[in-house]
Amino acid sequence: MKIGVPKEIKNNENRVGMTPSGVFELTKNKHIVYVQKDAGFGSGFSDLDYINAGAIVLETITDVYTSSDMIVKVKEPIAEEYPLIQSHHVVFTYFHFASSEPLTKAMLKSESVCIAYETVEDKDGSLPLLTPMSEVAGRMAIQQGAKYLEKPIKGRGVLLGGVPGVPPGKVLILGAGVVGIQAAKMAAGLGAQVTVMDINMKQLRYVNDVMPSHVVTEFSSEYNIRKRIKDHDLIIGGVLVRGAKAPKLITRDMLKDMRPGTVLVDVAVDQGGCMETTKATTHEDPTFIIDDVVHYCVANMPGAVPYTSTLALTNVTLPYVLRLANQGWETACKNDETLAKGLNIVKGKIVYEEIAEAFNWSVDAI
């Protein structure tokens, strides 16, 4: 198979869909890998690294798409890439279709096969290709939130860990999944007082068992959320509904109950956000303020730490890329139920129910 690895062109997206190590494994299996010039530069990989691993480096993104059968990326295609995706392509990347109708319509029109990292699902319900980026984003949420609590950038002026004689800051985490647990670890490590909320009691029991005593759990309800937002300095939104839009847990009217300079970090922004006032931002312009509340809603948070993120992502995607390349998408998905759940759009048809529900469309089964 001919596999293409284009350079990511989303704002400040420095990750790359494949490392030289991945190229080596694919070429060892007799596949041809085309890598766009400087695709790996932001993640610390030179064109020579790819060439030495067996790749063919092409000058432009158009060259890569035109030459390839399967495209391996990190982020969803943006408008400039829509015309490059054709009916013979298999595109393997993060899509988050439910949060973008234009992207969904463009991929339907292309009649390509779209396999989404975020909906590849193991038998135990875990999401193996989403987990590493959720781990990065959860940890980064605290790192970024701590920074934006500083007064020069309109935060409350609170040091999360406090100092002797001064209480630490308070962190509220909505969601006890991968993002929430990683955020809690980081916040606890800084010495903050942490509250983790979820509707899944099994997850809350797990958090209660593994976290230190200054991390407390509470059942999530609108009443409890409204109570907690009044005195917490940093609020992390880490809620996920597989393949669907995230529920709005923080509504517009709740902002008036927060103290000026409170910071909201919405990690669920890729799925439409779990806060009503969320709008996607970029690393170039990451925050905005509504009612004196600082919002950090960067849609590709792990892109700011591309070396770590690229290695973490490609560690888990490569086995699936090899399967798709060696067997073809139809056979690979037939033989692997986990991978089959990644199928979102196939030849002009939506095959993942939650996407259709997001736009009130009907589903066409394969």
Sign of torsion over alpha carbons 206, 212, 213, 216: negative
Which amino acids are annotated as binding site for substrate, given as ranges? 15, 75
Which amino acids are annotated as binding site, given as ranges? 15, 75, 134, 198, 220, 239-240, 267-270, 298-301
The position carrying tokens 């847990």 is: 249
Please state, in angstroms and rounded to a whole number, the distance separating the CA atoms of residues 192 and 166. Answer: 12
Please state, in angstroms and rounded to a whole number, the distance separating the CA atoms of residues 97 and 123. Answer: 23
* CA distances in angstroms from 128 to 212, 315, 349, listed in the order given: 27, 10, 25
In the chain, what's the furthest Cα-to-Cα distance?
65
Which amino acids are annotated as binding site for NAD(+), given as ranges? 134, 198, 220, 239-240, 267-270, 298-301
Query: Which of 242, 144, 130, 210 is closest to 178 using CA atoms?
Result: 130
* CA distances in angstroms from 312 to 175, 179, 302, listed in the order given: 22, 15, 10
Q: State both tokens at 1.
A: 């198979």
Q: How far is CA 230 from the centre of its chain?
A: 28
Q: What is the DSSP-derived secondary structure letter of residue 85? A: -
Q: Which residues contact 150 (CB under 8 A, 6 or more apart)?
A: 157
Active-site positions read 96, 270
Query: Which of 92, 114, 117, 118 is closest to 103 using CA atoms?
Result: 114
